[in-house]
Amino acid sequence: MSDDDKNDQQTPPSEDVGAHPTGAPWRNFYGRFKGKSLRDSQEEYLEQDLAALSPGKVTWEENPDRVNLDLEGLFGKRDVWLEIGFGGGEHMVHQAATYPDVGIIGCEPYINGVAMLLGKIRAAGVENVAVHPGDVRHMFDVLTDASISRAFLLYPDPWPKRRHHRRRFVTPEHLAPLSRVLKPGAIFRVATDIPDYVRQTLKEVPKQGFTLLNPDPDTWQNEWDDWISTRYEQKAYREGRKPHYLTFQRNEK
């Protein structure tokens, strides 16, 4: 989830995030699944478009045996990219339109963000996308090893309080399965406006088999060539924070 202004709320255990009779592991989820009321048009997007954009059976309820997704059946022979917490969907749709020969899966548990993305998909007319409205950890369960060519983590929840740093994405709980599903040589992009998130990212990501491709701190505020500024980045600028753009590569071995 990419909304940094809902960073101190914990969702109570539910079947989507906790243990249940299917044998799903206990996974705490911190944040919200839904915010303010959706507009009628957004409800329409969810009702009419979401099911058709599903990447397959991802949740434990749908797939208790954790059968791997058929990415070739979903996208053909295309490389597949993964966006972790797509927020309002600006970046994901931009990437899909810029790279029509790539398939992009987006994961986002915040349903308001999912609805915003669906509206942007309609407007842009992109077809090389799939949407999972849930926790990316469930997606990791059903992706085969070395199946993803690129991953994005853009303005993740900062969890600024020190006691909450273990909730950040850049911890072994998330990074180890991400490393497993990325192909050798795959690119992992991280954007954040929080200096301490940069610190933790630089400390934890290399431990999971990644090399930082832009080690010079003077380059960390250089946008990627195909970047589009998101609503969360604009908020950072308004509040006087500077974005950082870190590029990692999955090691060959």
Domain ranges of the chain: 40-250
Confidence of residue 226 (pLDDT cuts 50, 70, 90): very high
Strands across the sheet containing 148-154? 129-132, 102-107, 79-84, 148-154, 182-192, 244-250, 210-212
Looking at domain 40-250, its CATH class is alpha beta
The answer to whether 127 touches 159, Cβ cutoff 8 Å, is no
157 part of the active site: yes
From the list 157, 196, 225, 226, the catalytic residue is 157
Give the model's pLDDT for residue 40. Answer: 81
Report d(CA 33, CA 111) in Å as an integer: 6
Report d(CA 113, CA 89) in Å as an integer: 7
DSSP string, 88-123: TSHHHHHHHHH-TTEEEEEE---HHHHHHHHHHHHH
Task: State the average pLDDT over residues 198-222.
Answer: 98
What is the tens place of the pLDDT at every residue in 7-36?
Answer: 333 333 333 444 454 566 655 655 544 556
Residue 157 sits at the vertex; the CA angle it makes with 189 and 154, to the nearest 5 degrees, is 20
Report d(CA 75, CA 55) in Å as an integer: 9
What is the tens place of the pLDDT at every residue in 105-158?
Answer: 999 998 999 999 999 999 999 999 999 999 999 999 999 999 999 999 999 998
pTM of the model as a whole: 0.86
Structural tokens at position 214: 């832009």
